[in-house]
Chains A and B, each alone.
Chain A
Amino acid sequence: MKHLICLLFIFCHAAHAQCDITYEDCAPVGEWEFSIALGAGLLTNPLNGGKDIPLIVIPNFSYYGEKLFIDNNAIGYTLYENYTISFSAVSQLNRENSFFNRWHPSNIFINTLTKTIVLESLIDSESTDITEVELDDIEERKWAIDAGVQLNWFFNRHNQLKVLFLHNINNVYNGYNGQIEFDHLFIVNFIPNNIFALTAGVNWQSKKQVDYYYGIDAQDNVPAELYYQGSAAFNPYLKLNSHYVINQDWSFKLILKREWLGSSVKNSPLVKDGVIDTLFIGVEYAF
C-alpha cells in the first residue's frame, strides 16, 4: 500500500492497586521481609501487679502475596482492591492477654499461697477500703484469636483510614472488637530521609471482651466485694512513628504511643493506670 500511515500508541495507567515505592508504604509481592529492631523501649502495663513489657529486641516480619498477606500477628486475604479501597478477611492474635502474662521473674519467686493469706488477713482486719485486685490473685486469662474484616480506604498517598471488625474465634471471650484508625504520612524538610506517620484511632471492645479480661467474678480468687462487670469500652489512641533511613539495611526508629483506656476498663479493680504508653527508640536492620 502506498498510504503513509503512522500508528502511535500512548499507554495510560488504568485503575489498579500497584504501589509506588517512592511515595507509599509498599511491600514486594511474593517475598518475605524480615527485620529486627534493637533499642530501648517500654510498653506500660495498666494492671495492678502487672509488669511493664520491655521492648529491647523486636522482630518484624511480613509476606504480601497477590491476595494473601501475613503481617506480624495478622494473616489476611484481600477480597477486593482498587486505587482507593482494599477489603480483606483477616485473623489476628488479640493483644489484650499480653498484659496478663505472668512470665516476669517475680512470679517465679512469690508464693501464691502466702499472697492469698495476706489478702485475707487484710480483709479480716477491717481494711474494707481495698478496691484493687492484683494480677496474681485472679484466674489466668487465655490468649484469644479473632477473625473478621478489614477495610483500608486510601484517600491519597499520605492519608488512609483503616477499619477493623473482629470476632473471637477460639471460644475465649466470644465477643467482638474493632478499630478505626487514621494514618497520615509526612516528611519535614529539615530532616531528610525521614518519614513520619501520625496515627489517631480508637479501639473498641465489646462487653464480652471487657468482661473476660477486666471483669472479676467467682472464678477469680478475690472476695465478692471486688467482683466487677464491665461494659463495652472505647480506647482512643495517638501514635507517632518516625523512620529515618540510614542506608539500604539500617534505619533509625522512634515510636511514641498513648492509649487512653475507656471508663469500663479503667474502672476495673484490676486496673491501676488509665493509659497504656508505648515508647521505643533504636535501630532496625532489614534482612
Chain B
Amino acid sequence: MTIKIKWSSPVPINSCLFQDKSKTICWRNRSKADERIDINIKDDMEFTLMSENNDIYAKQLVRINTSQPKNYRRRLRSDWSLF
C-alpha cells in the first residue's frame, strides 16, 4: 500500500517517521514534507514523527477499515464455462 505523508513545522527540524517501532523515512532540517512511501499494514498502527533524541513531534493512529467485509478475487473461469 502507498501512503502520502504531509507534515509542517514553524521551524526547520530533523525528524524521522516511525511505523510502530520501525523507522520508515527521515528528514534533515526541513520545515515541511510531502512524500509518498510504500508500506505494509494489516492492522491499526501508530505512526510517530520523532526527533533524533526521540522527542515526539506528532503521532497519528491509522485505523484499517474495509468497506467490503469480505475479500473478493476475480473469477478465472467464465460463467457456465462448462458449456
User: What's the minimum C-beta distance from A256 to chain B, rounded to whole angstroms?
Assistant: 10
Q: Contacts of A117 on B, CB cut-off 8 Å?
A: none
User: Which residue of chain A lies nearest to B78 when distances are taken between CB atoms in the complex?
Assistant: A183
Of A3, A14, A58, the residue contacting B9 (CB under 8 A) is A3
Shortest Cβ distance from A172 into chain B, in angstroms?
Answer: 19
**CB within 8 Å for A26 and B75 given contacts A4-B10, A5-B57:** yes
Task: Tell me which residues across on chain B come within 8 A of A159, comparing CB atoms.
Answer: none
CB of A149 to closest CB in B, whole Å: 12
Say which residue of B1, B62, B68 sits within 8 Å of A21 (CB atoms): B68
Interface size classification for chain B: 35 or more
Q: List the A residue with the shortest CB-CB distance to B69.
A: A28
Provide the residues of chain B in CB contact with A58, threshold 8 Å. 80
> Taking the complex as formed, is A108 at the interface, i.e. its CB lies under 8 A from any CB of chain B?
no
The majority secondary structure among interface residues of chain A is strand
A239 to B80, CA, bound (A): 11
Q: List, sorted by A's number, 16 A–B pairs whose CB atoms are closer than 8 Å.
A: A3-B11, A3-B13, A4-B9, A5-B8, A6-B7, A8-B6, A10-B4, A21-B72, A27-B75, A71-B77, A71-B81, A74-B77, A76-B76, A78-B76, A88-B76, A197-B78
Contacts of B7 in A (CB 8 A): 5-8
A12 touches B82 (CB 8 A): no
Q: Find residues 210-242 in chain A having any chain B CB closer than 8 Å to their own CB.
A: 239, 241
Q: List chain A residues, Cβ under 8 A from B13.
A: 3
How far does the alpha carbon of A27 sit from the alpha carbon of B72 in the complex, in Å? 5
For A20, give the chain B residue with the smallest CB separation: B72
Q: Is the CB of B75 within 8 A of A71?
A: yes
A28/B83 in contact, CB under 8 A: no
**B48 vs chain A, min Cβ distance (A):** 9
Cβ contacts A86-112/B at 8 Å (1 or 0 each): 101000000100000000000000000
Please tell me the number of chain A residues within 8 Å of chain B, measured between CB atoms: 60
Q: Tell me if B49 and A7 are in contact (CB < 8 A).
A: yes
Q: Which of B49, B62, B76, B83 has a CB less than 8 Å from the CB of A69?
A: B76
Contact assessment for A12 and B73 in the assembled complex, using a CB-CB cutoff below 8 Å: no
Question: Is A273 located at the chain interface by the 8 A CB criterion?
Answer: no
Asked if A14 and B83 sit within 8 Å, CB to CB, the answer is no
Quick one: which of A1, A14, A73, A253 contacts B57, CB cutoff 8 A? A1
* Contact indicator A12/B4 (Cβ below 8 Å): yes
A263 lies within 8 A of chain B by Cβ: no
Instruction: Check B42 for interface membership: any CB of A closer than 8 A.
Output: no
| A29-B70 in contact (CB<8A) | yes
* Min CB gap B41→A, angstroms: 9
A64 and B75 contact, Cβ closer than 8 Å, known pairs A5-B57, A9-B47, A12-B2: yes
Residues of A within 8 A of B73 (CB): 17-19, 26-27, 29, 64, 66, 81
On whether the beta carbons of B74 and A9 are closer than 8 Å, the reply is: no
A64 to B74 CA separation, bound complex (whole angstroms): 9
Asked if A26 contacts B58 (CB within 8 A), the reply is no
**Shortest distance between the CB of B30 and any CB in chain A (Å):** 11
Q: Given contacts A86-B76, A181-B78, A280-B83, is CB(A5)–CB(B71) below 8 Å?
A: no
Output the nearest chain B residue to A67 by Cβ-Cβ distance. Answer: B73
Question: Given A5-B49, A12-B1, is A162 in contact with B58 using a C-beta cutoff of 8 Å?
Answer: no
* Inter-subunit contact A9/B72 (CB<8 Å): no
Tell me if A73 and B10 are in contact (CB < 8 A). no
Return the CB mask of A171-193 against B: 1 if under 8 Å, else 0.
Answer: 00000000001010000000000
